Amino acid sequence: MTNYLLLSLLFIFGYLSHTDFLVIYSQELDLFELFQLIILATCIFIHLSSKKFFLSLSNHFVFIIRLFIFIFLFYEEISFLTKDSIEIFKLINFQSEVNLHNSNFMQNILFSLPLPFTSHISTVSVFIFVVSIFLFIFGFGSFLPYLKRLRYLYLERNFSIFSFVFLLNISLTALIRESYDSSLAHLLHSEFVEFYIYILFLFDVLQKKKRMKLKLNKNATKSS
């Protein structure tokens, strides 16, 4: 059921990406950013409430790494409050904020790749590369033989395929733009992609807590 909801959200966000929804909301209070912060704060709360499950079925390292990821993302989202607060970040951050995702370094080009079926050469920035690698490992780590012992660190397997949304959005947008429609800005707006990934994380922490609780109860029943 959750997977169908995630799939439906892709179509909804895809539709809204080609309307004036984001223009309208940005003219009012920035509720969209607030929703993202609420989702991440909820992820942190649910994860903290799952501590005893992690310590029983996994370990402190996995628990702390997942907590760090959620707190880091929460900080990156709220870092707009630091705008113009530190002088040096006016030089190394194109938004003059104390964060990583808007830093000049993350915009550097790492390498170029030819787009299939076109003559276009697409550039890959540090930001795109780092986010893509993180989402791949976080999404598919439980399938990788050498990472299975850390299985509770990664997304639940039924959610793994959705971790490709960031990379597929960039790749398909570039391919369609070069092959069919040069005016296409994006399939999914980056704000919706970001929002979607946070929703994915929320569904994962909810399902992970539920499955870990069921497993512990099952183990307790067997041992009694």
What pLDDT, in 10s, does the model give residues 59-117? 899 999 999 999 999 999 999 888 888 888 888 888 899 999 989 999 999 988 887 77
- Nearest Cα neighbor of 54 from 218, 215, 203 is 215
With bands split at pLDDT 50, 70 and 90, how would you rate the model's confidence at 25?
low
Per-residue pLDDT at 130 exceeds 50: yes
Question: Could you tell me how far CA 111 lies from the centroid of its own chain?
Answer: 23
pLDDT confidence of residue 45: 97
3-state class (DSSP) for residue 26 = helix
pTM over 0.85: yes
* From 55-64, 182-191, 209-218, the region with the lowest mean pLDDT: 182-191
Interval 36-45 mean pLDDT: 96
Outline where 141-223 has alpha helix (H). 165-179, 190-223
Please name the residue that has the structure tokens 């909801």.
5
